[in-house]
Amino acid sequence: MVDSNVEKRLVAAPVEPDVTEEDIRKFAEELNQYDYYSVIVDEYNLDLAFKLFKKPRVGIIVSYPLGGMTTETKVKLVETAVKKGCSEINVCPNYVAIKSGDFKTAEADMKAVVKAADNKLDVVAVVQVGLMTLEEIKKICDMCLEVGIHIFKTNTGLNLGKSEVEHIRYIKALYGDKVEIEVSGGVRTLSQAKEFINAGADRLHSSTWKQAIGAEN
């Protein structure tokens, strides 16, 4: 049975390397039967997504999953998202700069993204917790809060690490209600989804979303 407390937090994303128009149509037909939160697509599929999904909450991925696009390209994508009326973007920071301790570069990059977003949409920063130490996670969150980002997505999936319940507890313990957390990478089942929500996750992304919201076993 569908758990409405999980369902309303679902961020669904038909983002696959070979996703076709037909795939997105089918995805929309299924998803539209539920009271989900939002949908994330690739930039190319934006117009189609606005047409097919029942809710106006549509967003795009920005520099996903590697974070290695230039600031100029990230900004261009964000400007496109704003122009098209997106509700949110999922943006990956410059992880190599972060791993190098070069927070000046990483922060300037995110600052440019926030400026381009112009308060017109929610900026969701992907922390990539599976690749980071707890100290790095804190530094990324601090940096994002500093430039005005308060929504964090834990992971991208794609063999770049998994989210653990401890990651959610850690971020929540640091920032409490100042932040919103979207958990991604490691949410396969309804019981896992509930566990993450109990730990403080506000939203969740899952590629097995029907199982995660309890619509299928």
Q: Residues 124, 151: contact at Cβ < 8 Å?
A: yes
Does the protein bind another protein through residue 32 (CB under 8 A)? no
Q: Which of residues 65 and 214 has its CB atom nearest to another protein in the complex?
A: 65
Q: Which of residues 138 and 172 has its CB atom nearest to another protein in the complex?
A: 138
Q: Which of residues 42 and 164 has its CB atom nearest to another protein in the complex?
A: 42
User: Closest distance between another protein and the C-beta of residue 6, in Å?
Assistant: 27
User: Closest distance between another protein and the C-beta of residue 144, in Å?
Assistant: 16
HSE, CB side, 13 Å, CA atoms: give it for residue 107: 14
User: Closest distance between another protein and the C-beta of residue 42, in Å?
Assistant: 3
Residues in the chain: 217
For another protein, the binding residue among 4, 5, 33, 73 (CB under 8 A) is 73
Q: Residues 91, 65: contact at Cβ < 8 Å?
A: no
Does the protein bind another protein through residue 42 (CB under 8 A)? yes
Q: Which of residues 95 and 175 has its CB atom nearest to another protein in the complex?
A: 95
User: Closest distance between another protein and the C-beta of residue 47, in Å?
Assistant: 9
- Structure-token match 């190319």, residue found: 44
For another protein, the binding residue among 1, 22, 135, 177 (CB under 8 A) is 22
**Cis preceding-peptide flag for 17 (omega within 30 of 0):** no
Size of the site for another protein (CB under 8 A): 41
**Cα distance between residue 41 and residue 129, in whole Å:** 22
Span interacting with another protein, options 42-50, 176-184, 185-193, 201-209, rule CB under 8 A = 42-50
**Cα distance between residue 201 and residue 134, in whole Å:** 17
- Tell me the chain's radius of gyration from C-alpha atoms: 16
Pairing mode, if any, of strands 122-126 and 203-205?
unpaired
Q: In this structure, what token pair is assigned to residue 26?
A: 């089918």
For another protein, the binding residue among 30, 33, 96, 191 (CB under 8 A) is 96
**Binding residues for another protein restricted to 104-163, rule: CB under 8 A:** 109, 128, 131, 158, 160
- Structure-token match 């964090």, residue found: 152
* Backbone angles phi and psi of 204, in degrees to 5: -145, 145
Q: What is residue 58's three-state secondary structure?
A: strand
Does the protein bind another protein through residue 184 (CB under 8 A)? no
The residues binding another protein (CB under 8 A) are: 15-23, 42-45, 61, 64-73, 76-77, 80, 92, 94-97, 99-102, 109, 128, 131, 158, 160
